[in-house]
């Protein structure tokens, strides 16, 4: 009977050891899971911040592109205005010359 009790006690001890081992493995697995979950959240936050930065730089790039286009249009407009002013001066001079020629022609008649 005592031998049987010792065997049963040995089996209980082995089962207890196995159960403790399982509990410890479960705790380690949960800790690893929590650690991986936290790491995932950190990576997701970094990706979100990167996307915000990318959006900001895309907006800034578009704004710079718009400003460059506006500058190009302004320069072209200034050149066109200068050309128009030069042509208007030329027209005025031509009109004056024409008027002078008409007056001279009238005098000769």
CA distance 45 to 63: 27
pTM: 0.58
Mean pLDDT by 10 residues, the chain (109 residues): 92 97 98 99 99 98 98 98 98 96 89
Any idea which residue has 């040995």 for tokens? Answer: 10
CA distance 37 to 33: 6
């Amino acid at each position: 009977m005592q031998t049987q009790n010792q065997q049963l006690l040995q089996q209980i001890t082995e089962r207890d050891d196995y159960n403790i081992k399982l509990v410890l493995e479960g705790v380690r697995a949960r800790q690893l899971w929590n650690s991986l979950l936290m790491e995932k959240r950190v990576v997701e936050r970094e990706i979100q911040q990167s996307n915000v930065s990318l959006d900001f730089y895309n907006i800034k790039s578009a704004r710079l592109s718009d400003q460059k286009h506006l500058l190009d249009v302004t320069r072209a407009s200034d050149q066109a205005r200068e050309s128009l002013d030069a042509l208007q001066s030329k027209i005025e001079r031509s009109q004056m010359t024409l008027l002078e020629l008409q007056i001279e022609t009238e005098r000769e008649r």
